[in-house]
Structure 1
Amino acid sequence: MNEPLSKAVTENFCRLHEDGIIYRANRLVNWCVKMNTTLSNLEVDQKQLTGRTLLNVPGYDPKEKFEFGVITSFAYPIEGSDEKIIIATTRPETMLGDTAIAVHPEDPRYKVPSSRKFAVHPFIDRRLPIITDDIIVDMEFGTGAVKITPAHDPDDYEVGVRHKLDFINILNDDGTLNANAGEKFKGMKRFHARVAVVQALKDAGLYVETKDNPMQIPLCSKSGDIIEPVLKPQWWIKSQPLAEEAIRRTKAGELHIAPKQSEADWYRWLENIQDWCISRQLWWGHRVPAYFVRIEGSDQNSDDEKHWVVGRNLEEATERAKKLAGGAKFTLVQDEDVLDTWFSSGLWPFSTLGWPDKVGLVPVYLTDRLTVVMMQTLDFERFYPTSMLETGWDILFFWVARMVMLGIRLTGADAIQ
């Protein structure tokens, strides 16, 4: 957190944003209710359940246990008829955020005109279109009908994008249900709501059954809380172009992973990399150097990146905001979020050597002639890249891959050779 290293983190963010690698988007994040922050995929552990399991959840009475490892089936009424369509879910409370039901286009059970009908939500004034989707639906599994909750499930999010569905968030940051969940459930804690929804389905005659279901549940690696996928505007890194260069250099022999068997993990992680959410809702850390430009008399949405500027300091941000405002009066509001710790620690091989500072033009002999070049600090020129890094296998991707990717992008050289 000292000034030189903080300067490096800010420079990292600004350069990557200027290059189009960092962007702001309203996407699903891993939300830890206990810590009240987003987490990267690498900070989420998967707990395997073989069937019905009772678990304590952080933030609840230790004497309370909640049921996991089961799948609950219930029926949605079809609008204007006596028909019902049965779906199954491992998270019954999320039905309060459902905005569609998907069936397979080739499933004879749901041919036209059934696929043009709407289901009626039993607890909220909401019509759910019955859509066809051959990606998310396996017509051989269960009833062949899938509830779609775009704001609370990664696969459903993609369905929502494909079919332009509504994205309805039903959760507050503290894990209670908000007004979108309906008056009956608003204010309930999420797992109390799970129990209440099942009971309400029984009372409405829509409950079908609950049975064992082997599954994984996502846990926060720090608090042990159960992770909730939640839609939030955050800052992200386009990871694929960074990973591709790291893969290329490893295959070219410029970077060596030892022992050799760890190379398989290295390639598996990099080849399947997802965009990296770098925003964190914590009190301590490097603050995001981005500013919302609040223009007087303008109705703006802070979710939209076009209303934001990035700057190495307030002066640079102000100059960029002037261009954005086009002569109108404005105020700047800096993002309160901080950056993921791996975003800063990924700079370690070169930020500790003085990057991004330069010492200026230095005379250098190149074969038979004398020339001058702009040099980084003497420590950087002497010790970067490092020749070897000894570390644990468990942070090969957390830390090592990010040092390599950021090193290549920001310095042009492998962080480790």
Structure 2
Amino acid sequence: MEQVKCYRWLENIRDWCISRQLWWGHRIPAWYVTLEADERKELDAYKDHWVVGRSAEEAQAEASSRFPGKKFQMTQDPDVLDTWFSSGLFPLSVLGWPDETDDLKVFYPTSVLETGHDILFFWVARMVMLGINLGGDVPFRKVYLHPMVRDAHGRKMSKSLGNVIDPLEVINGISLEGLHKRLEEGNVDPSELSIAKEGQKKDFPHGIPECGADALRFALVSYTAQSDKINLDIQRVVGYRQWCNKLWNAIRFAMSKLGDGYIPPASVNSNVMPFSCQWILSVLNKAVDKTVSSLEAYEFSDAATAVYSWWQFQLCDVFIEAIKPYFSSSDQSLASARDFARDTLWVCLDTGLRLLHPFMPFVTEELWQRLPHPKDTVRKESIVISEYPSVVQSWTNERVEHDMELIESAVKSLRSLKALLPAKERNESGAGEVYSELILERFSDTSGKRQAFALCRNEEIAEVIQSHELEILTLAGLSSLKILSENDAAPVGCSVDVVNENLSVYLKLKGTINAELEREKLRKKMEETKRQKDSLEKMMDAAGYKEKVKPHIHEENLAKLTKLMQEVLSLEEASQHLERDIAAQAAANDNE
């Protein structure tokens, strides 16, 4: 079927003139033979005087054979081959054709071609035609069409607009003056030069900062989800350059925790490791699986997102932070956990760099070369020829991932409570700065950390929170965490947030509660939760819902609705607690 479609591209088309009168391109390998006895000496006077050859020497031999014993001169055709004729031979010529090379035998036909949709006929169809006729088969089985790159405003790149972006200028950086100079040295019409310069000044007032090849490559890969066009924003590339720096610093920190003389194990058993180590290996498995499956499906943006998310939000933001107590504490009970953390850290760095390598080849090569390698193993000379990661089934642990999801939710709520400081009082006397100092003092104890409470509405949640108190204290920056049940009195003088229907967290404050701030925060969360609940109820009450929706979807919706209803009750309970706390503080102030 695919081959039939390829033929259709070449049916009922005009003859193809493969010569061009240009100053670039492959010179046509044809020579005109002018005999001394010829009456007419001009080029192409006699159609039978042309000879072809791979070289001038081969053409000379052909001419001597065709015109034996005669004196002649040879002139090579001044034309060049059409670009698409030369490039149409690409799949064959790079493998050594027309010689029967080993590469040609092994690698032809290839598997995938990557190109743009605008040259499907000019290049792709010509390669198919030449490949079938000269190589005996189609040159590739699949064609991946990448999006076309435009500027940040979605405009086609044009010299007259001055918005053409040279990849080397993004990689190496260039000043605004340099951009202007490039325009002046080009072939922009003088009447359009000032307009082009204004466009450059507007888009790049300070020029283009040095971003490096890895950042540009990663940005372009991540953009591939954007339909058939890429609106290239240089600031996004700059963001990935900064992420490259963060990646470098994270690995430098990790390497310092491995220590000199560290020898990684040939393999690790996640089942005997601490909780955080089990978790990071389990989510690493998912990142590997998602990346590989996305690459196989040519969903490159999804693959890049999977790798980036694991590195940024799971390894750097959670795991590296969670294991810091293992290295900062002198407690001997943490010695084994420290060793497991080192081994896990090395596995993550080695696997993560190999996973990231196709997207950022240069920084990953440099960092991977610095990693220690297991004893009695032969290390590959380069990361590019090392094995690409695959899923290790024994690392997968859904229970651990479920527990960590709860922990992360609790930590997120506690961090949000820290961030929600009361608004500064602004007045012309400049008291705002003094007030902000008092707020910061009120929200922290002498160590800069806060006390917190976790109200758990069932034993299972309480057990998870209690078991992983160290991770919560570390990630949320707390001084202590006390577990409460529904029978316990809610703590006084706290800011509260509802994590889910079974868990609420309280952050101890110094001083009085900002009643309006706390009321507003709970009100917004209550409104959003009720909105979700009402929307779901409306959908489930709609006519024909039960007939149209599959049973398992209905069950999921019921469970979600139950969860939202319980969360509403939890928020109402938190509001009641807040009002009691405010009333108690007011009474205390009256007594004073």
TM over 0.5: no
Q: Which has the higher helix share?
A: 2
TM, length-normalised to structure 1:
0.31
Structure 1 or 2, whichever has the larger Rg, is 2
TM, length-normalised to structure 2:
0.22
Q: With a CA cutoff of 8 Å and minimum separation of 6, indicate the structure with the bigger relative contact order.
A: 1
Q: Which has the higher strand share?
A: 1
